[in-house]
Structure 1
Amino acid sequence: MIVNVDRLRCDALLLTTGGLCVLPLPGLSKDAATRRARAFQRALAVAPQGRATSTAATQTVLATLE
């Protein structure tokens, strides 16, 4: 999956066994995508640091992927 973010529109590009599928993301803004990507990267970086931190990081990763 690749998320295409532009000021005019946002779409997810999904590569499936049937080919390329474009999923419009009308509720996603560039700012929101940037915030989610940064939170996702931070969560991945801290996940191995301990159980409590890992739980919080896992919740962030899951929320980002929803």
Structure 2
Amino acid sequence: MELLSGGEMIARALEDEGVEYIFGYPGGAVLHIYDALFKDCKVPHVLVRHEKAATQAADGYARATGK
């Protein structure tokens, strides 16, 4: 059985769920997640400069694509 870190579990879950883009801003509390995302995850990351901008970008993407 393969042992995964929490960040690796999140990265795999995002891929398994068919997530097409990740919108976010890396910070100290989530660096372990970003390490896993950039190491193994194939889902593209959209870097923003503020957490609120990530929610607005994700909302705009969802509205524009219907996803």
Q: Do both proteins adopt the same fold according to a TM-score greater than 0.5, normalized to the shorter chain?
A: no
The bucket for the TM-score relative to the shorter chain is 0.3 to 0.5
Instruction: Please identify which structure carries the higher helix content.
Output: 2
Give the TM-score normalised by the residue count of structure 1.
0.34
Q: Which has the higher contact order (CA 8 A, sep 6+)?
A: 2
Higher strand share: 1
